[in-house]
Chain A
């Protein structure tokens, strides 16, 4: 069983990294031939960085759009972020002080994450417009994340897992020195679904993570009059046209 999980996580890690890298390379190679920032847009690169940071950290557009979706969505993402930070302790031998201090908050983040996901799921089921646009996979993602969160809560608060052994397993993974993993049921579920999530991420709508930063509507500087913007294929097209019709 330990070997299966060790192998699973090695594969999941590779799929995640390679898949995501391929997508990011694809996004950066496809040109943006025209200036299409949604205005009012920043006039400088620094301004764009602030715009993207606000979208990433505060979900400003979503806040303007729908307060409930923002509340649940933001709660989920921020909680997930704290939870992930909290999990860093499994990969660092001597846990640094900030992470130690985070632990108490981090434990409750699992609950807020679950509440956020539950809110999003309820919205998806009961708001007719959102239900209309949902595919099976949209529900499954929410349920998958809820089960991951719930199994984590069970391990921490109800049926404790030997986390020292888990940490030896995870540190062993990093060192290619496979260690035994406790075989508690919640842990098996938790880890299996995390691996599933890692494997599916590059093939799913979770691509919104890199996608956000590549949206020309948000990441372009508003300066088309000042600087001439030319994409490679458009430049080639121009060159061909000029060749065809010499002036």
Chain B
């Protein structure tokens, strides 16, 4: 299949030995001018690339406190060195978070600090050459911006911030990544990452309506571009056709229907994902975000609800108000924006949803915390709600739930291996190897607790697991959406499921 070996499960999770140069290479496909220019990048290496690189670096150092402080404050203590899933899976020391940061820090020291200008060898500063840029391109595309290292760093250094800055600098000298830029361009031209045009989307949603009505006897609506609904649903476009994503979308529809919340998707903003985050471009994150504001105004909704997508929720929760706010035209009685899990959880708390957990009795679930939700956002009204709410919803829909090892969940969760703009076939080796720590934790609970399936709330995690699970000896459909479980268990008012449970004689039930 591919010219690399799937890593073997380790008997004990010992810290790997370093193997220098293990993942050296050219990195993912470089973008072409046709994808770049619309995003504001030159698309080719300019003659004065060195000057441009340093200028952009200086510019970003002056714009992002995170970058400036993080370049200075690393003490090389080594706390992060065994925390990155890509290092654990590949053994390449340049995948240790501090080494990844150092690729840029060495250049920062050489050109922006006294010590590096005059004593480069002493502090490990290097000259900026084309080889250095190539090495940046390769290794800054082996980081999924998952922030696991930042949890363990005594200085709070977040490698994701450095990776984003590096990618932004690279893009400005014609070394952008094709996968991310092509996708962003599709968002601008067509409205979503997958390039699904409006009519195709409408067809899919109509089919879903038919399918759900056939299954349940309830006419659940999956609207597109319908003005005047209560809510605009922003969901990753994978939810419109990929498995198991679409089963989650079916679930959102059932929950919202049962709660009497009318909703619509927008054909122009038919994508919750925001790859602007991955390439570290403030302009592009903002431009992608503005579509949501414009769609909400155009469709005259009162609320914005986000579906299951990890980085989309980071951008929505943490940045949307900054980038596309203020949202004074929406109903202020609801969180802006709100996560579908917050909606479902709140309704469960209030006893507004009837669940028949037996529907999922054949499953024993575990839950994969997605990095951007775990470490870069929140759900509910207290810190850590992002861990409890999905688990509570799963447990409301399924009787059997077991958590994986505590070092691999919640804010210590391991990335699926495909986040941060790396979910592309040209990085398959990295994706498979980077999945190792998560697969090991899953293996443990399957053996010790009989776990059959793993649920996630991120489109990238779901797609990545569909690919990686078979490499590690699991079934590819072991990955499920959280709202897929909800969809199976929910008993909507007036549905066939309700009749089955309560008996067909309605008069008897009433008396």
B376: nearest residue on chain A (CB-CB)? A39
- Contact between chains at B76 and A38 (CB < 8 Å): no
A224 touches B317 (CB 8 A): yes
Decide if A95 is an interface residue (CB 8 Å cutoff). no
A136 within 8 A of B: yes
- The answer to whether A129 touches B383, judged by C-beta atoms less than 8 angstroms apart, is no
On chain A, the number of residues with a Cβ less than 8 Å from chain B's Cβ atoms is 62
A61 touching B79, Cβ below 8 Å: yes
B222 within 8 A of A: no
Contact B319 A208 (CB under 8 A): no
> Which residues of chain B are near A136, meaning CB under 8 Å?
121-124
Whether B501 sits at the interface, judged by CB under 8 Å, is: no
Min C-beta distance of A227 to chain B, whole Å = 8
Question: Are the CB atoms of B376 and A214 closer together than 8 Å?
Answer: no
Instruction: Report the Cα distance A30→B325, complex, angstroms.
Output: 23
In the complex, per-residue mask of A124-139: 1 if CB is within 8 Å of any chain B CB, else 0 = 1001111011111110
Query: B78 → chain A, closest Cβ, in Å?
Result: 4
Among B47-55, B80-88, B250-258, which stretch is in contact with chain A?
B80-88
CB neighbours of A87 from chain B (8 A): none
Number of A-B contacts (CB under 8 A): 204
Tell me if B124 and A137 are in contact (CB < 8 A): yes
Which residues of A have CB within 8 Å of B158? 36, 38, 217
**When the two chains form their complex, are residues A129 and B63 in contact, meaning their CB atoms are under 8 A apart?**
no
Of residues 55 through 75 on chain A, the ones whose CB sits less than 8 Å from some CB of chain B are 55, 59, 61-62, 64-66, 69, 73
User: Chain A's nearest CB lies how many Å from the CB of B285?
Assistant: 8
CB-CB under 8 A from A98, the residues of chain B are: none
* Contact of A160 with B by CB under 8 A: no
On whether the beta carbons of A215 and B73 are closer than 8 Å, the reply is: yes
- Cβ distance B101 to chain A, nearest Cβ, rounded Å: 10
Cα A212 to Cα B77 in complex, Å, equals: 14
Which residue on B lies nearest to A120, using beta carbons?
B77
Within 8 A of A (CB), among B120-147: 121-124, 147
Return the CB mask of A20-43 against B: 1 if under 8 Å, else 0.
000100110011111110111111
| Min distance, Cβ B51 to any Cβ of chain A, angstroms | 22
Is B157's beta carbon under 8 Å from chain A? Answer: yes
Residue of chain A at shortest CB distance from B74: A205
Question: Does B446 reach chain A (CB closer than 8 Å)?
Answer: no
Which among A135, A200, A228 is the interface contact of B322 at CB below 8 angstroms? A228
18 examples of A-B residue contacts, CB within 8 angstroms: A30-B61, A32-B64, A32-B66, A34-B319, A38-B375, A39-B375, A39-B383, A40-B378, A40-B411, A41-B378, A129-B81, A135-B122, A203-B113, A216-B69, A224-B317, A224-B321, A230-B322, A233-B63
Binding site for A on B (CB under 8 A): 15, 17-18, 61-66, 68-70, 72-83, 93, 96, 98-99, 102, 113-115, 121-124, 147, 150-158, 161, 282-283, 317-319, 321-322, 325-326, 335-337, 374-378, 382-384, 386-387, 411
